[in-house]
Amino acid sequence: MQLEKDDDKLASLAVVLPLALTGFVVAAGCWTLFAVAGVHLRADLGLNSLQFGVLLAMPMAVSAMLAIPAGLAAQRYGAREVMLLCLCGLAVCMGMLLLTETYAGYLVVAAGLGLAGGFYGAGLQFVVSHCDSRRLGLVLGVFGAGVTGAGFTYYLVPLFHEAFSWQGVPLAYLIVLLLVIALLLMLTDATGEEDNSRERSAREILGVIRQGRNLPLSLYFGIVAGSFFSLALWLPDFLSGQYGLSVDDGARLSQWFVIPGAVAQVAGGGLSDRFGSARVTIRALIGCLVSLLVLSYPPMTLFITGVESEVVVEFGLPVTFESGVVVALGVALGAAMGSLQRMVILANRQEASLFAGVLLVSACAIAFALPVIFGAVNQWLGVRTAVFMILFLLLCCSLFLFSRHTRREERSRFLHPGI
């Protein structure tokens, strides 16, 4: 009987996971649309660095506000229904993007793209309810790999810009969104109300979130994922400015940060199933710090007073080497995201949609703040690589605190094995 139940769950997962993954790929593509298209708008509308940072960060801000309500709605009314609602809202945003021509209009559309965050929370609940604990890390990693959709944006915007104009991308996404909505309606059943219990107060929800290590783990995930998303948004502008590349070439290079990083979530989740989330997270964060240390050094010229003349020594990373280090950084961040996500959801499986929202609030709050900080620091300090210096300090503190808490828990289990 148990074997038949496991087979049924695996069969349903084989249908549910590809649909949820496809939807998240498209949603993530909408999420980061302004990372590339915004660079064109920056030139057309004459935006300064701070305005550009706000435009990039707006989807993350709205995602942070929607994440927990979307997760609670998925838990109570059904994940499938919330997923469909978010996809329909994204389709409306794509239609609006074809019509607007002002900065205020683009900000409204950018806010609407925050519905991708609501889809993430509901979609995570959707897949978790169809898999067992043995495969949880791997399944969560596969679903999280939908962030590769951001990489497709980096490819599609330059492609459409060369052939027609970047406005062809919203039209393409609109068509794909309608197709995914149709597939969800045809291949899945209405879930109805998933949680018939009484509505919980904000104090009760906060109590659940604060249990055990839930809150610090969610914060660590937010710092790692927020760093990943903010870099995904900022890299096209950084690479094009740092190396004098065209916007399209900068976007093409940036996809090699996003796609390997998104796929690395699968490895992070799978390795965590086998070796434990804490071990994978610590090693991944160390990899992040090594990469960020290399990337933090700005191009510089050293003047040495010689015997007869000045000796000029120039330091600077070639674009090929820096691109390779950026790929390594993306992979390390992705692995850390996969392992931390597994750690939180495994400990709170019955509240998966709620904690998906909590994780997303944390990630989007960081991803909203960082591009604004990047823009302000660039405008004030004038050093582009200060972006990586900020992230180095942030992740260094996270690694120190995470390692200390992990050692404290291991010591407690060793001294009190019966607890």
**Tens digit of each residue's pLDDT (9 = 90 or more) over 250-309:** 777 777 888 888 888 888 888 888 888 889 999 999 999 999 998 888 776 677 776 677
Does the structure show a pLDDT above 60 at 183?
yes
122 Cβ contact partners less than 8 Å away, ≥ 6 residues apart: 70, 71, 73, 74, 79, 80, 82, 83, 86, 353, 356
Q: What is the DSSP-derived secondary structure letter of residue 305?
A: E
How many folded domains does the chain comprise? 1
At residue 7, the pLDDT reads 54
At residue 9, the pLDDT reads 59
101 Cβ contact partners less than 8 Å away, ≥ 6 residues apart: none
Q: Of the segments 37-41, 98-102, 290-294, 316-320, which one has the largest average pLDDT value?
A: 290-294
Tell me the pLDDT tens digit for each residue of 385-398.
Answer: 888 888 999 999 99
CATH value at residue 86: 1.20.1250.20
Q: Which domain holds residue 40?
A: 2-415
Cα dist. 264→1, 120, 140, 141, 355 in Å? 36, 18, 12, 8, 21
